[in-house]
């Protein structure tokens, strides 16, 4: 069995982020065919195209981290019906310099948690639009809009509700299959 290396982004910088808690659950529940590693975005400066010729070390590290994985997973909050600026900033760095878009042909999936009933659905639509422009093949289904209710997850990411755990396991299995399918037709060496 092949194990795919998957880098994940947490769109929130908050120490108490519910999306970080969700990411801990995903790490716990990932199938053996998937190994999840965080790609940090916290220390990135704001993107400035004047630096395209001399990327700061944090941005180079981001691009190297994306290059080292076979797929990426976005775990994002919804801020004002879109994605947080910190996450958009990371994607902007990853997409540049022109002609060296790190997300091109990189399989991706999106998930997010909110206390609200629509569970980041609008932010995810925005993110999917951005990832389309970045030419990242995206998993369309399973969609995962997580309503974060008190007690649903322990702080270290244990899921307390069986149906949620089954759903997250299924989501990750589907993503794993999706990655395998994409890499079959788009082997990284030809990307």
Interaction site with ligand FNR (CB under 6 A): 12, 14, 17-19, 77-81, 114-116
Give 95 or 114: the residue with its C-beta nearer to ligand FNR. Answer: 114
121 vs 142, beta carbon nearer ligand FNR: 121
Which residue's structure tokens are 């400035």? 48
Q: Which is nearer to ligand FNR, 81 or 181 (CB)?
A: 81
What residues have CB less than 8 Å from 58, skipping those under 6 apart?
A: 43, 44, 45
CB of 82 to ligand FNR, least distance (A): 7
- Tell which residue, 40, 103, 96, 35, has the closest CA to residue 67: 103
Query: Cβ closer to ligand FNR: 144 or 179?
Result: 144
**Smallest distance, ligand FNR to C-beta of residue 18, A:** 4
CB environment 78-95: b (16+ within 10 A), e (fewer): bbeebbbebbbbbbbbbb
CB of 9 to ligand FNR, least distance (A): 12
């Amino acid at each position: 069995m092949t194990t795919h290396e998957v880098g994940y982004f947490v769109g929130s910088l908050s120490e108490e982020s519910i999306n970080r808690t969700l990411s801990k659950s995903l790490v716990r529940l990932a199938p053996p065919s998937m190994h999840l590693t965080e790609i940090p975005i916290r220390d990135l400066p704001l993107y400035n195209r004047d630096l395209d010729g001399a990327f700061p070390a944090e941005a180079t590290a981001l691009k190297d981290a994306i290059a080292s994985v076979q797929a990426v997973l976005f775990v994002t909050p919804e801020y004002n019906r879109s994605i947080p600026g910190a996450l958009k900033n990371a994607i902007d760095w990853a997409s540049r310099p022109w002609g060296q878009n790190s997300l091109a042909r990189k399989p991706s999936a999106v998930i997010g948690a909110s206390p609200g009933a629509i569970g980041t659905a609008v932010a995810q639509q925005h993110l999917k639009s951005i990832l389309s422009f970045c030419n990242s093949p995206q998993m369309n289904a399973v969609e995962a809009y997580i309503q974060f209710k008190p007690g649903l997850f322990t702080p270290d990411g244990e899921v307390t509700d069986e149906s949620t755990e089954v759903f997250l396991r299924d989501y990750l299995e589907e993503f794993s299959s999706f990655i395998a399918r994409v890499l079959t037709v788009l082997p990284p060496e030809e990307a």
